[in-house]
Chain A
Amino acid sequence: MKYRFDDYEHILRMAGLFALGITAFFIFRAVMVPKDFGEYGHYRAGALADNANFQIQYAGRAACVDCHSEIQQQRAGGKHAGIGCESCHGPLAKHVADATAVVPQRPHNRDTCLRCHTSRPSKPAGFPQIVPADHAPEGACTECHQAHNPKI
C-alpha cells in the first residue's frame, strides 16, 4: 500500500491550485453580486425601486378635479363622465406640477371624436358610431355636441 503515497508532491500542487481557484471564485462572486441580490428571490431587490422611480406622465383624473371641479359637475351623469380627462387632453402630470409649464390640448377637431365614434363592424353593438362622410361632414363635432356632456 505504501508505494502509492511515495510520490505525492504533484497532488499537493494540484490541490493548491484548486484551493487558489476556489478562493478566487468566492472573492469574485462576493465583489460582483450586489448586496441586495436574493433578498426576495433570484433578483436584485433594488430593481423594484428602479421600476418604481420612473417619471409619471399621466396625473390621473383625481388631480384634474382639484382645480377643474366645474368640469366635473358638467360631466356628471353624462355619457362621458367615466372618461379620464387625459384621455382627450393628453398627459398632464407636468401641468399639475406647474399649470403654466404645459397647456393641455383642447381638441376641437373631428379626429379626436372620430377615434372612438367612427363606425366599425368590430365595435360592440350599441356603442354610438357614425359614418363620418354622412354625419355633418363639414363642421366640427363641438358645433352641435358638448364634449364634456355629449347632448345635442
Chain B
Amino acid sequence: MRENRRQFLNHASKLLVLTAPAAAAWPYIRAERPQDAPGYKMDEHWWGMAIDIDKCIGCGTCVRGCKAENNVLLTPQTSRTWVERYLVDTDDMDHPRVDSPNAAYDGFPDPGPQPETVKTFYVPKLCNHCMHSPCVQVCPVGATFESPDGVVLVDKSYCLGCRYCVQACPYGCRYIDPRTKTVDKCSLCYHRITKGLTTACCEVCPTGARALGNLKDPKDPIHKFLRENNVLVLKPQMATGSKTWYKGLDGAVR
C-alpha cells in the first residue's frame, strides 16, 4: 500500500509538472496566424519576387493594377510600384537619364530620336521586401516590420507618420499617404498571397516580367529562375538582404 501511494504521488506530480507547459503552449499551437486566412501557414512561406528586365515592355499595366487593387491615390508620388525608363549613353555610363512619367501609369511617351550610343530599357520597381530592412530598423514605434513570412508590412493604426522610414528606404519605395497621414508602401498584396492568389502586378503583367515566389517551396519556379540566370538585387552594397531579384539588370540602374 505504501509503495502504491508513493507511486501514485510520483505519477501525479509528474503529470502536474508536464500539463503546466502543455496548457501554456496550447493557445500557440491552436493559433495559426494570420488568424483569418484558412489554410495559410505562415511558416511554410517566405516571399520574394523575380523580375525579368528583358521582358518588361513599359506598358504600365502593373502600376494600374496595383493602384486599382490597393486603393492607391492616382498621383505619381503615391505609387507602390512604378516603372523607370533608362537612357544610358555608353559614352557616359555614370550618368544615365531616368524618367518615370506619372510613375508609368499611362506607359511611356516616345523619347524622341536618340544618339546611336544610347541603350535603353525599362526597370520595374517595387518594395524589395528586404530581410534586413533599413526602414524597419528606424521605425521608433514598431509600426513597420518584417513579417514571419518575409513581407515588409505597415501597421497603419500604429504609424505616427514621422517619415523616418521614408528617408531610410534606399529604394524610394515609401511615401506618406495624404489621406491618412501615415506611411504607405507595397504590401506584396498580403491580402492576396495569403489566400493563394498572386500579387495584382504579377496577375496583370502581360509579358510575365514579374513573378512572385515562395522561397520555402522547393517546387516554386523562382528557384529555377535564380539558379539558371545571372540575377542581381538593387544596391547590393547596402546589404539590405533584398528579396527582389532582377535578371538582366544593367550596372547603370540605381
Say yes or no: A51 contacts B197, CB within 8 Å: no
Give the distance to chain B from A117, nearest Cβ to Cβ, in Å.
9
CB atoms of A42 and B36 under 8 A apart:
no
CB of A125 to closest CB in B, whole Å: 9
Assess whether B190 is in contact with A54, with CB atoms less than 8 Å apart. yes
Alpha-carbon distance between A61 and B86 when the two chains are bound, in angstroms: 32
Interface on chain B toward A: helix, strand, loop, or mixed SS?
Answer: loop
Is B148 in the interface zone, CB < 8 Å from A?
Answer: yes
| Chain A residues positioned under 8 Å from B128 (CB to CB) | none
Check if B124 is an interface residue, CB within 8 A of chain A.
no
Chain B residues, Cβ within 8 Å of A100: none
Q: Chain B residues with Cβ under 8 A from A124's Cβ? A: 54-57, 121
Pick from A43, A45, A58: contact of B143, CB under 8 Å: A43
Does more than half of chain A's interface fall in helix, strand or loop, or is it mixed?
A: loop
Total B residues in contact with A, Cβ cutoff 8 Å? 57
| CB pair A41 B206 closer than 8 Å | no
Q: Interface code B62-87, partner A: CB below 8 Å = 1, 0 otherwise?
A: 00010011100000000000000111
Total cross-chain contacts (CB, 8 A): 139
Answer yes or no: B165 CB below 8 A from chain A CBs.
no
Q: In the docked arrangement, what's the CA distance between A137 and B85, Å?
A: 27
- 0/1 per residue, B139-155, Cβ < 8 Å to A? 00011111110000111
Query: A41-B146, A122-B121 are known contacts. Are A52 and B203 too (CB-CB below 8 A)?
Result: no
Partner of A56 from B143, B197, B206 at Cβ < 8 Å: B197
List residues of B (165-207) whose CB comes within 8 Å of A's CBs: 187, 190-192, 194-195, 197-198, 200, 203-207
**A52 contacts B145, CB within 8 Å?**
no
A87 within 8 A of B: yes
Query: Once the chains are docked, how many angstroms separate the CA of A55 from the CA of B86?
Result: 35
Q: List residues of chain B with CB within 8 A of the CB of A45.
A: 33
Enumerate chain A interface residues (CB-CB to B < 8 A): 37, 40-45, 47-58, 60-61, 80, 82-84, 86-87, 90-91, 115-116, 118, 120-124, 127
For the complex of A and B, 10 pairs with smallest distance between CB atoms: A47-B155, A54-B191, A43-B145, A122-B120, A52-B34, A87-B204, A51-B190, A42-B142, A43-B142, A49-B34
